[in-house]
Amino acid sequence: MPQYLKLQPPFIARDHFLSQIPAPHPAIEMCETVDSLGRILSEDLFAPHPLPQFPRSTVDGYAVRSGETNGASESLPALLRLAGEAPMGKIAVQSVLSGEAILIHTGGMLPPGADAVVMLEQTQLTGSDNLEIYRPVAANENIIQVGEDVHTSDLVIPAGRRIRPVEIGGLMSFGVTCVRVNRAPRVGILSSGDEIVPPYESPQAGQVRDINTATMSAIVREAGGVPVDYPIIPDDPEALYQAVARAHAENDMVLITAGSSASTRDLTSEVVARLGKPGVLVHGVNVRPGKPTILAVCDGKPVIGLPGNPVSALVISGLFARPAIHKLLGCTDPVYQPAITARLTATVSSLAGREDWVPVILQPSEQGYLAEPIFFKSNLIFNLVRANGLLHIEADATGLTAGEMASIEIL
């Protein structure tokens, strides 16, 4: 019996695969903070000073002594004298004395003597310096105290965190203009098949252009890796082995997209098994599309044999390639896939015991989003071009009916 028919549930297969990838020890390199989006921080970042470094107002208004606003209302306002204005970008030296208020702007330093700020719209200035306050404020209302965001020596960004725009802002708040990040793993990408020609060539009868190399390169780059493309390999055992062995030696991970025949899949499995121990871990996943998937770890490097069909390759790369790249990166953040809930416009059948991934077209409606399933053949790339979501049908379901609400992963 062909080995690829020994199907494993996808998430069990993924956990087994990832568990065999050794704990990463990526090289470290320096990166300008402004260019660090998507990189993985290689060391814990501790706060060199508190944030904020001085007490600040969170609103435009008047700095006051909170006790002097007790009982204030529109019918009986508290009356204070406007004594001045707190300067922006400078130390506030003028104190708020009893019976006084000082004009302050958002982000301005709280003057000495004040313990709260009354919002501008809850006041009215009558004359040049008579301030009416129509609502009482509590101590510390509308202000941020020193260290209220972080204290000195707090762990603010842990090692292993993927840097997002908010992390870049946080780093800049401490004046950290360069950071140490983990080197991105190199991922070798190979396509094989006698019928495959490069995209820039005009295919002859029986030939097709290679789209998987470019697609997989984009997926690798999006996941944080560095794609390394190799020439197309013919369906020859020794040529395939030599190419895969070279890619395995030169990279941290290898992706292979092969033909659709059982003999080609078996050939890929045999070649991968020669690369090192423990070798092939999974040869066949109970998912559609993507059943003939090969998962291996060879001498510490993950190797994935992807189906040649583009829809299958996309689904499998999301299930296995992205998590493997994240592990090689040393990323400790959970891997999230954005999803929304949408109402199906048609019934989608499924085989019990098998997980299905179905491309859908999402459309907004007055009642929320609608998801129109695309009933596809997995070798048609424009099924995915038209789609903007993937419907996941769990293994214990026999399908979903029209009108049912379903979770849709965003493409």
Please give, one letter per residue, the 3-state secondary structure of the chain. Answer: CCHHHCCECHHHHHHHHHHCCCCCCCCEEEEEHHHCCCCEECCCEECCCCECCCCEECCCEEEECHHHHCCCCCCCCEEEEEEEECCCCCCCCCCCCCCEEEEECCCCECCCCCCEEEEHHHEEEECCCEEEECCCCCCCCCEECCCCCECCCCEEECCCCECCHHHHHHHHHCCCCEEEEECCCEEEEEEECCCEECCCCCCCCCCEECCHHHHHHHHHHHHCCEEEECCCECCCHHHHHHHHHHHHHHCCEEEEECCCCHHHHHHHHHHHHCCCCEEEEEECECEECCCCCEEEEECCEEEEEECCCHHHHHHHHHHHHHHHHHHHHCCCCCCCCCEEEEEECCCEECCCCCEEEEEEEEEEECCEEEEEECCCCCCCCHHHHHCCEEEEECCCCCEECCCCEEEEEEC
CATH for the stretch 28-51+148-182: 3.90.105.10
Residue 172 has pLDDT above 70, yes or no: yes
What is the pLDDT averaged over residues 36-55? 95
What is the pLDDT averaged over residues 108-116? 97
pLDDT band at 410 (very low <50, low <70, confident <90, very high): confident
Nearest to 140 by CA among 222, 49, 244, 63: 63
pLDDT recorded at residue 5: 53
pLDDT recorded at residue 2: 43
Nearest to 315 by CA among 280, 341, 354: 354
Residue 3 has pLDDT above 60, yes or no: no
Distance from C-alpha of 370 to C-alpha of 404, rounded to nearest angstrom: 10
pLDDT recorded at residue 186: 97
Residue 385 has pLDDT above 80, yes or no: no
Q: Does domain 3-27+184-329 correspond to CATH entry 3.60.15.10?
A: no
What is the pLDDT averaged over residues 399-411? 88
Q: Which of 100-104, 316-320, 363-367 has the highest mean pLDDT?
A: 100-104
pLDDT band at 4 (very low <50, low <70, confident <90, very high): very low
Q: Which of 177-191, 207-221, 231-245, 269-283 has the highest mean pLDDT?
A: 177-191
CB distance 217 to 324 below 8 Å: no
As a whole number, the mean pLDDT across the chain is 89
Residue 73 has pLDDT above 50, yes or no: yes
pLDDT band at 395 (very low <50, low <70, confident <90, very high): confident
What is the pLDDT averaged over residues 382-397? 80
What is the pLDDT averaged over residues 119-142? 94
**Residue 27 CA to chain centroid, in angstroms?**
22
pLDDT recorded at residue 264: 57
Residue 56 has pLDDT above 50, yes or no: yes
What is the pLDDT averaged over residues 128-141? 95
* pLDDT tens track for 295-310: 999 999 999 998 877 7
Establish how many alpha carbons lie within 13 A of residue 278's alpha carbon, considering only the half-sphere containing its beta carbon. Answer: 12
CATH for the stretch 57-142: 2.170.190.11
pLDDT recorded at residue 217: 93
Residue 46 has pLDDT above 90, yes or no: yes
Q: Which of 166-180, 279-293, 298-312, 394-408 has the highest mean pLDDT?
A: 166-180
pLDDT recorded at residue 376: 65
pLDDT recorded at residue 260: 42
CATH of range 339-410; options 2.60.40.1190, 3.40.50.1980, 2.40.128.20, 2.40.340.10? 2.40.340.10
Domain range annotation of the chain: 3-27+184-329, 28-51+148-182, 57-142, 339-410
Q: Look at 5-9, 33-37, 39-43, 201-205 and tell me which has the smallest mean pLDDT.
A: 5-9
pLDDT band at 145 (very low <50, low <70, confident <90, very high): very high
* pLDDT tens track for 252-306: 999 998 754 455 556 888 899 899 999 999 988 888 777 888 999 999 999 999 8
CB distance 395 to 286 below 8 Å: yes
pLDDT recorded at residue 383: 66
Q: Which residues of 220-246 are buried (b: 16+ CB within 10 A; e: fewer)?
A: beebbbebbbbebbebeeeebbebbbe
User: Phi, psi at residue 366, to the nearest 5°?
Assistant: -65, -25
Residue 400 has pLDDT above 50, yes or no: yes
pLDDT recorded at residue 259: 52
What is the pLDDT averaged over residues 185-212? 88
Residue 237 has pLDDT above 90, yes or no: no
CA distances from 145 to 3, 55, 57, 116, 281 (A): 65, 4, 9, 11, 55
Residue 80 has pLDDT above 90, yes or no: yes
* pLDDT tens track for 326-380: 999 999 888 777 888 999 999 988 887 788 888 889 999 888 899 998 876 555 6
Tokens of 369: 């989003």
Give percent above pLDDT 70 in the chain. Answer: 95
